[in-house]
């Protein structure tokens, strides 16, 4: 009986969490649509990015208060107020961007064009001036211009959620963007004890709870002229750090 009750509570946490995030997006959509029209571009971007940070912070707190997740992600706070840089995490699950953005008020990110055009998510993404992942040349130019404007840029070097541990082969775009904008790449490592929302995980499949997430900062790499060598260095650093990490929640 006790186990059945615990399972019921886990399902409640799962569906309440997903529903709460959907509600936040739904409430923000009409506001973002209006602000996109009435605000100057620079002011719109600042407000849009801050609002997404605030919404994701509330969502993270909601998951923690329900007991669905435990978060140790405050190490990201040291990046606030730093000069423009690329923030490059590994990508174990769909919550990765949510966790990073929830701690940083001025982050743009590269987003699928289909999501930017989505009626549910698009208004907020456009207000925040997120970057389409369409044409590679335009994506690189837009990303570099965002960095030159003083923003941080969130990029997952693997391009998609991790399929082959410790990390997928890296995409080359991060090197071109760093070189063109002349900004460093700050590596970030996301660790978890669950495969929840990893590649192939059904959205409504219940994980064991609570799920633990921890984020720590890695090395910061200055851009190089040799793009291939730069990508190799980044990928090696990720492979070394992720291969040697202890499972989250293990005793030391």
The pLDDT value recorded for residue 4 is 74
Q: Where residue 68 sits, what CATH number does that domain have?
A: 3.40.1130
> What are the residues facing 63 on neighbouring strands?
none
Domain count within the chain: 1
Beta-carbon count within 10 A of 225 CB: 8
Q: Is the pLDDT of residue 54 over 90?
A: yes
- 23 located within any domain: yes
pLDDT for residue 8: 73
C-beta separation of 199 from 91 below 8 A: no
pLDDT at 103: 97
Report the Cα 228 to chain-centroid distance in Å. 25
Q: In what order do the strands lie in the sheet with 107-111?
A: 69-72, 211-221, 185-192, 86-89, 152-154, 107-111, 131-132
Reply yes or no on whether the pLDDT at 248 is more than 80: no
Pairing relation of β-strands 185-192 and 152-154?
unpaired
* Residue 252 within a domain: no
Residue 251 pLDDT level (bands cut at 50, 70, 90):
very low
- Find the helix or strand (DSSP H, E) in which 111 lies: strand 107-111
Residue 251 in domain: no
The token pair at 132 is 């389409």
Q: Report residue 106 as tokens.
A: 């001025």
Angle (CA) 9-10-15 rounded to 5° is 100
Mean pLDDT of 56-66: 95
Q: What is the pLDDT of residue 250?
A: 47
pLDDT in tens, 12-31: 878 888 899 999 999 999 99
b (16+ CB within 10 A) / e for 58-72: ebbebbeebebbbbe
Q: Which tokens is 214 given?
A: 């921890």
Q: How far is Cα 16 from Cα 78, in angstroms, rounded to an integer?
A: 31
Contacts of 219 (CB under 8 A, 6+ apart): 187, 237
Total-model pTM: 0.92
CA-CA distance, 211 to 58, in Å (whole number)? 17
Q: Within a domain: residue 124? A: yes
Residue burial 89-107, b: 16+ Cβ < 10 Å; e: rest: bbbbbebbbbbbbbbbbbb
Q: Is residue 58 part of a domain?
A: yes
**Average pLDDT taken over every residue of the chain:** 91
Residue 202 within a domain:
yes
Q: Is 160 within the bounds of a domain?
A: yes
Structural domain contains residue 27: yes
Q: Which residue has the tokens 């040697």?
A: 244
Enclosing domain of residue 190: 2-243
Pairing of strands 86-89, 107-111: unpaired
């Amino acid at each position: 009986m006790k186990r059945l009750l615990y399972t019921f509570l886990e399902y409640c946490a799962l569906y309440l969490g997903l529903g709460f995030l959907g509600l936040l997006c739904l409430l923000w959509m009409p506001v973002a649509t209006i602000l996109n029209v009435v605000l100057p571009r620079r002011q719109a971007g600042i407000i849009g990015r801050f609002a997404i940070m605030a919404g994701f912070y509330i969502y993270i707190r909601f998951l923690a208060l329900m007991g669905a997740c435990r978060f140790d992600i405050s190490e990201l706070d040291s990046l606030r107020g730093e000069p423009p840089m690329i923030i490059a995490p590994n990508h174990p699950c769909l919550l990765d961007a949510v966790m990073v953005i929830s701690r940083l008020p001025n982050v743009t990110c590269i987003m699928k064009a289909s999501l930017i055009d989505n009626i549910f998510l698009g208004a907020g993404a456009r207000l925040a001036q997120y970057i389409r992942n369409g044409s590679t040349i335009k994506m690189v130019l837009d990303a570099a211009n965002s960095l030159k404007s003083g923003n941080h840029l969130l990029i997952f070097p693997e391009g998609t959620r991790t399929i082959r541990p410790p990390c997928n082969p890296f995409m080359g775009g991060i090197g071109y963007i760093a070189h063109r904008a002349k900004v460093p790449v700050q590596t970030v490592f996301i660790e978890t004890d669950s495969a929840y929302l990893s590649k192939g995980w059904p959205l409504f499949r219940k994980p064991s709870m609570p799920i633990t997430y921890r984020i720590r900062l890695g090395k910061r790499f200055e851009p190089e002229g040799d793009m291939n060598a730069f990508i190799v260095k980044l990928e090696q650093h990720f492979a070394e750090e992720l291969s040697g990490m202890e499972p989250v929640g293990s005793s030391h």
